[in-house]
Amino acid sequence: MEHYLMNLTLKVWRQANSNAKGKFETFKVKDISSEMSFLEMIDVLNEQMIREGHDPIAFDHDCREGICGMCSMYIDGRPHGPWHANTVCQLHMRAYKDGDTIVIEPWRANAFPVIKDLMVDRSAFDRIIQAGGYVSVNTGSPVDANATPIQKDNADAAFAAAACIGCGACVAACKNSSAMLFVSAKVSHLALLPQGNPERKSRVTNMIAQMDKEGFGSCTNTGACEAVCPKEIKMSNIARLNNEYLVAGLTIDK
């Protein structure tokens, strides 16, 4: 693809801290290369702001290769921007053309309070994982990898669910601010494997209890989450979660 330069107008949400009232600020950036990533474009703007003595825009990022789940921008009405199955860090400026105006907002959900500007606190996800998104194992030498036979289809489905990077785009897209796609990915990942079996009932009930406590909404199967998930986590995981929950709810001992 041919390389080109562009000038852009950015409308960015600025908020000093979680208690402050935020507002949009408009910035102009010049000579942005079509080869740059979206975050590099923000870097250019931030350097310019630092040089001019302004407070740069705070935003989350880490790996910048689409695997860590830190980056989180709601760009022009879509989490992670216009590309399908993509994270912001992997969004490139060739998606835009000269003269475009881009609106950038943080994830919006009460369970994800804004820390500053575009940065939100997603520790609610960590607490949901801590509530049950793990398997308990004894320490000692590792078990032989082939000791437990696993059906190929299940292994594949578990792996697909495990691809969730915990970015929170599903919550950001959902009209109910529901975290069900995330939680269902984590529950499914372990429910599909024999290793997850011993704790399956307590896992799903505890994770849902924590999810509710954190203030996420409930799922109404609209499908917005699936449409924006950078890892293409499927809604069928949500149905599996519902199934796990129903069975656990009816049969759990205490």
Q: What is the DSSP letter of 235?
A: T
**Per-residue contact track with other proteins, 88 to 117, x per CB under 8 A?**
---------------x-x--xxxx------
Among 66, 178, 190, 196, binds other proteins (CB under 8 A): 178
Interacting residue with ligand SF4 among 102, 167, 204, 219 (CB under 6 A): 167
Q: Is 246 in the site for other proteins (CB under 8 A)?
A: yes
Is 218 an interacting residue with respect to other proteins (CB under 8 A)? yes
Q: CA 223, CA 235: separation in Å to the nearest integer?
A: 7
Under 8 Å CB-to-CB from 61, ≥6 apart: which residues? 39, 70, 71, 88, 89
- Residue 91 interacts with ligand SF4 (CB under 6 A): yes or no: no
Largest CA distance in the chain: 64
Residues 2-41 that bind other proteins (CB under 8 A): 11, 13, 22, 24
DSSP string across 130-173: HHH-S-----SSPPPTTSS---HHHHHHHHHHHT-----HHHHH
Q: Which stretch binds ligand SF4 (CB under 6 A): 48-56, 110-118, 178-186, 244-252?
A: 178-186
Report how far residue 69's alpha carbon sits from residue 20's, in angstroms, rounded to the nearest whole number. Answer: 26
**Residue 69 lies near ligand FES (rule: CB under 6 A):** yes
Q: What share of the chain is helix, strand, coil (3-state, %, to 5)?
A: 40, 15, 45
Q: Is 205 in the site for other proteins (CB under 8 A)?
A: yes
Instruction: Look at the block and give the residue holding tokens 């879509």.
Output: 78
Cβ contacts of 30 within 8 Å, gap of 6 or more: 7
φ, ψ for residue 75 (rounded to 5)? -105, 120
Q: Which does 74 bind (CB under 5 to 8 A by kind): other proteins, ligand FES, ligand SF4, none?
A: other proteins
Residue 135 interacting partner from ligand SF4, ligand FES, other proteins, none (CB closer than 5 to 8 Å by kind) = none
67: contact with other proteins by CB under 8 A: no
| 62 interacts with, out of other proteins, ligand FES, ligand SF4, none, CB within 5 to 8 A per kind | ligand FES
Contacts of residue 41, defined as CB under 8 A and 6 or more positions apart, other chains included, come to 8, 29, 32, 93
Binding site for other proteins (CB under 8 A): 11, 13, 22, 24, 74, 76-79, 103, 105, 108-111, 173, 175-178, 205, 208-209, 211-212, 215-228, 235-250, 252, 254
Binding site for ligand SF4 (CB under 6 A): 164-170, 181-182, 185, 229-231, 233
